[in-house]
Amino acid sequence: IDTDSFGIDSSATFAAGANKKEVKKVLAKQDFDFLYDEKKGGLYFNENGAEKGFGDGGIIAILKGAPDLSADNLEFI
């Protein structure tokens, strides 16, 4: 993930939730940069950190088949 494109640094944070509801209602209110919906494969950018919603962020990709994804799978350059 190109950090300049998202306005973040290489120490970006990541969290995964069991489903879209957990991602939007719980994790989006915490200070994570990227969030993943393990059920549907949605990868979200949380532009505004712990503030409500995703700010100027939102869904950036849908990974077909909702593969297991962890912070180890992401490389920030």
**Domains of the chain: total:** 1
- What DSSP line would sit under the chain, residue for residue? --HHHHT--TT--EEEESSHHHHHHTGGGSS-SEEEETTT-EEEE-TTTTSSS-TT-EEEEE-TT-----GGG----
Is residue 37 a part of any domain in this protein?
A: yes
At residue 1, the pLDDT reads: 82
At residue 77, the pLDDT reads: 82
At residue 4, the pLDDT reads: 87
Is residue 73 a part of any domain in this protein?
A: no
Is residue 46 a part of any domain in this protein?
A: yes
- Tens of pLDDT, residues 43-76: 999 999 899 889 999 999 999 999 999 999 988 8
> Stretch 34-51: mean pLDDT, rounded?
96
Is residue 77 a part of any domain in this protein?
A: no
**What is this structure's pTM?**
0.90
User: Domain range spanning residue 8?
Assistant: 3-64
Is residue 11 a part of any domain in this protein?
A: yes
Is residue 75 a part of any domain in this protein?
A: no
CA distances for 33 relative to 64, 65, 68, angstroms? 21, 23, 18
